[in-house]
Amino acid sequence: MKSLTAIVSVDDDWAIGFDNKLLFHESKDLAHFRALTTGNVIIYGSKTLQTFPNKKPLPMRTNIIFSHDKDFKIDGAIVVHSMEKFWDVKRRLEMQEPEREFFVVGGESIYNLFMPFLDECIVTRFFTRANHKNRYFLNLENPQDAPDWKMIYASELKPCTAPELEGIDFDFAIYKKEREEEK
């Protein structure tokens, strides 16, 4: 079975959002997300869908949306209501197009749901503390919270280009989960 990778952007406290909105809108980060996910499968919750342009599934990707609402349906996406249904859909998609990658893209509850199944996290780290935040990702750098996670790559620092983020740097980091058999 293909691995699962999370894509997330965080501040210094590993916060990811405030009131169902991203903390940072940086064009280089959004382009990175687009490059990684186009042609692949993205997995997210129905609240995250509300943050997308026109509240529609993202084009040029297979969108899998988790929803508690059994009647929720939307064109351009596969809606699942349980992990059991998700695994069934994932197996079917893997058989149809085995080269596609699977990315968990939020929000907080979906990241938490998938954390035991993730093999890798691609993290955009903004080196600042957001003023307003109420959604978080697991701090992969804290050995007490995430003992099995290790950073294996960090890009060079990049300056933010968005005017509201002037003076803030960010990078792209990759964290891998060490499985028991690898230790």
pLDDT band at 58 (very low <50, low <70, confident <90, very high): very high
Closest alpha carbon to 64 in 47, 53, 76: 76
Quote the distance between the C-alpha of residue 1 and its chain's center.
19
- Contact yes or no for 81/67 (Cβ under 8 A): yes
pLDDT tens sequence across 100-145: 999 999 999 999 999 999 999 999 999 999 999 999 999 999 999 9
How far is the C-alpha of 119 from the C-alpha of 59, rounded, in Å?
25
Backbone angles phi, psi at 75, to 5 degrees: -60, 140
Quote the distance between the C-alpha of residue 162 and its chain's center.
21
Return mean pLDDT, the chain: 95
Q: Is the pLDDT of residue 183 over 90?
A: no
Backbone angles phi, psi at 6, to 5 degrees: -95, 145
How far is the C-alpha of 74 from the C-alpha of 79, rounded, in Å?
8
pLDDT tens sequence across 157-169: 999 999 999 999 9
CA angle 151, 157, 158 (to 5 degrees): 130
Amino acid symbol at 128? T
Q: What is the pLDDT of residue 1?
A: 72
Q: What is the pLDDT of residue 180?
A: 63
Greater pLDDT, 76 or 182: 76
Domain boundaries, the chain: 4-182
Residue carrying structure tokens 């983020």 = 165
CA angle 137, 140, 143 (to 5 degrees): 130
CATH class assigned to 4-182: alpha beta
Q: What's this model's pTM, rounded to 2 decimal places?
A: 0.95
Q: What is the pLDDT of residue 179?
A: 74
